[in-house]
Amino acid sequence: MSNGSTYPPHRRLRGLLLAVVTAVVVAGLGGWLVWRTSGGDGGPPHGAGPPAASRSPGRGAGDASGPGGTDRGPDGKDSPGKGAPHGSLKGKVIVLDPGHNPHNVDHGREIARQVDIGNAHKECDTTGTSTDDGYAEASFSLDVAHRVRTLLQQEGAKVVFTQDDDRRYGPCVDERAAVGNKAHADAAVSLHADGSARGNRGFHVILPARVTAGPAHNAAIVAPSRRLGERLAGRFLAVTGSAPSNYIGHGTGLDVRSDLGGLNLSTVPKVFIECGNMRDPKDAAELTDAHWRQKAARGITEGITDFLTH
C-alpha cells in the first residue's frame, strides 16, 4: 500500500477474491460481445442483414433455365434430401427423363413422326405445355432434372439423362425408354408438368399398365414401378406440401396408363411424375418458383432413395 500499512489477513483475502471475480466478469463480458458481433448465435453479424442463403432471389435472378432464380444451400450447393442417408445410392444407376425438349417447337415435322409403342403408334414427341406467362414445361422439367441429378450424385448414384438440351429435338418416346434399358437402370423417372384446365391442381405419378404387344414387354416391371411410384408420391407430398391431384387418381396421386411409350417399352422400373398443373395460376406460381422447384427435387430424390434402399 502507498502508506506502508498492512491489512489483516482476512481483509487481504477478501480483496484478492474481489479482484478475481472482477477479472472473470470483465473477460466474460468481452467474450460475449465478440461472440454477438461475429454472429455466434447462428445469426449474421449486426448490420449484415439476413444470411445469403435465406434471401429470396428476384424473379429470373441467377437462373437461366427458368423464372425464380436458384435455391442453393448455405455452402452455395444444392442440399441433399433429408431422407437420403449419405452415400446410400453408391453403385445405383438412375435415369432421369426430362419431358419434351426446349427445341421441339422448332421441329414440328420431326416430332410428329409416328413410332411404335407396342399397343399403338404415337408421335415421336410433343412440345409440352407452358404457364400462361410462357414458362415452358420443357424448361421446367430440365431445371428440376438438374436439381435432382445434383442430389442423387451427392448420394453416390450414377445419373443418366435422356436429353440435356443437347439435341435438336426429342428424343422420341421409344428412344427415351431405350436409354433406361441400355443403362440397366435401377430406376427411371420421367419429369413433367401437366397442362389441364384452370382449377385442376396437384401432382400425380403415372404408373405403367401391363403391356405385352409388339416391341413392348413390360410385365416384369409393373410391380416394382408401382412401388417406385408410391414412394415417389409419398415423399413428394411430404417435402413439397403439395396435394395429390384433384382431377386424376381419385385423391391417391397415382394413375395407371397403357398409352405412354416411355412406360410400355421400359424394361426397368419407371414412372412419370406430373409435378403440378401449369395452366392453374396457383400451381403455376409454385412451378415457376425456384425454392419450390428445389423442394420438388428433394421430394423426388427421397422417393427414389426410399425405393432403392428399402
Give the residue numbers marked as catalytic: 274
Q: What are phi and psi of 188, to 5 degrees?
A: -135, 140
Cell of 37: 458481433
Give strand ranges (E) for the chain. Answer: 93-98, 114-116, 121-123, 158-161, 187-194, 204-208, 212-213, 216-217, 254-257, 270-277
Contacts of 185 (CB under 8 A, 6+ apart): 93, 94, 95, 160, 268, 269, 270
Q: At what angle do helices 222-240 and 290-309 cross, to 10 degrees?
A: 140
Cα separation, 183 vs 195, whole angstroms: 30
Task: Specify the DSSP class assigned to residue 54.
Answer: G
Say whether the peptide bond before residue 8 is cis (omega within 30 degrees of 0). Answer: no
Contacts of 28 (CB under 8 A, 6+ apart): none
CA-nearest of 221, 205, 215 to 269 is 221
CA distances from 22 to 1, 15, 172, 173 (A): 20, 11, 79, 78
Cα separation, 155 vs 142, whole angstroms: 20
CA distances from 109 to 102, 117, 192 (A): 15, 19, 22
CA-nearest of 308, 295, 305 to 143 is 295
